[in-house]
Amino acid sequence: MFKDKTVLITGAAVGIGKACALQFAKGGANVILVDYNDEALAKTEAEVKSITGNVLSLVCDVSDNDSVLKVVESSISRFGKIDILVNNAALWRHYTAFVDTDIDTWKKFIDVNIMGTVYFTKAVLGNMKQNHYGRIINVASVAGVYGNPTMAMYSATKGAVISLTKALAKEVAADNITVNAVSPGTVSPAEQDDIDYVEPNANSYSGRTGSTRENADLICFLASDSAAYISGQNVQIDGCRKKI
Ligand SMILES: NC(=O)c1ccc[n+]([C@@H]2O[C@H](COP(=O)([O-])OP(=O)(O)OC[C@H]3O[C@@H](n4cnc5c(N)ncnc54)[C@H](O)[C@@H]3O)[C@@H](O)[C@H]2O)c1
């Protein structure tokens, strides 16, 4: 499905990002893995290498624009182009009441979740326009749609990612570039190695978590030619969310 296509995935070391790496590799893509957790990244790289030799893994903090520019330069020099960008890296495990959340933490969430997405998108867009082809998939969250209590800054950053998606999609549609967001509900724990792992969960009417493979498969679909006419959308993958 992705023969001759190159995908760059941020936050590729664990969870949804890792499942994406495996699923894109199985689909025949050249895969670029980006993460700041070098140990976990090396482990994932080894797994992807058992599927394809066309893999490049690069350590990078997505909130550092200079580092992002270097990653994109190395990726294009290795594979010649970037066809698909999955902006997946994010901070989210932080639960505090709004009144107790300090400003530095707000800024960190904005730097990683919003600016990391902005940096990578800006860095690849010129190449995509040149090739008159691109698929950008931003991993948002149901928190960005409904707003989660004790997660105001996370919710705000994911809401921003969804509106960025909608605005940018309109600007680049004529360049044959689609831009979509996916908003997971409760996903199986990222530390589970099995991408099909699910467990009971009361947040959805389905009564379970979503596997990382289910999330990755949605992302792969939006990156595929079958989704060429879908752009500017936020697709919720949440097992029919109950708690909002
Ligand atoms: N897990 C869930 O229940 C859930 C629900 C909704 C949305 N999401 C979203 O899905 C995406 C993936 O989440 P997950 O739970 O699968 O994985 P995770 O949050 O456990 O891991 C994300 C990966 O991103 C990397 N990362 C974080 N900050 C980074 C930075 N500054 N630079 C480079 N890499 C960085 C981490 O090292 C990690 O490998 C995130 O965007 C998250 O907000 C997750």
Q: Which atom of ligand 1 is nearest to the CA of 190?
A: 20
What local confidence, expressed as pLDDT, does residue 244 receive?
A: 65
pLDDT tens digits along 159-183: 999 999 999 999 999 999 999 999 9
pLDDT bin (cut points 50, 70, 90) of residue 191 is confident
Is 242 a domain residue? no
In terms of Cβ atoms closer than 10 Å to its own Cβ (0-12, 13-18, 19+), residue 57 is buried
Residues 6+ apart with CB under 8 A from 195: 18, 19, 22, 211, 212, 213, 216
- Segment 58-64 shows an average pLDDT of 98
Is 244 a domain residue? no
Q: How far apart are CA 123 and CA 69, in angstroms?
A: 6
pLDDT bin (cut points 50, 70, 90) of residue 86 is very high
| Phi, psi torsion values for 21, nearest 5 degrees | -55, -45
* 219, pLDDT greater than 70: yes
CATH code at position 167: 3.40.50.720
- Which tokens hold the place of 150? 């004790």
Closest residue by Cα to residue 14 from 82, 65, 90, 74 = 90
pLDDT bin (cut points 50, 70, 90) of residue 103 is very high
Domains in the chain: how many in total?
1
Closest residue by Cα to residue 71 from 29, 126, 124 = 124
User: What is the widest separation between alpha-carbon atoms in the chain?
Assistant: 50
Is 1 a domain residue? no
Is 73 a domain residue? yes
Q: Which residues are catalytic?
A: 154
Ligand 1 pocket, residues with Cβ under 6 angstroms: 11, 13-17, 35-37, 40, 61-63, 88-92, 112, 116, 139, 141, 184, 186-187, 190
Pocket residue to mutate for ligand 1, from 36, 114, 234, most atoms within 8 A of Cβ? 36
| Full residue range of the structural domain in which residue 195 is found | 6-237
Task: State the pTM of this model.
Answer: 0.98
Is 145 a domain residue? yes
- Segment 79-104 shows an average pLDDT of 97
pLDDT tens digits along 17-54: 999 999 999 999 999 999 999 999 999 999 999 999 99
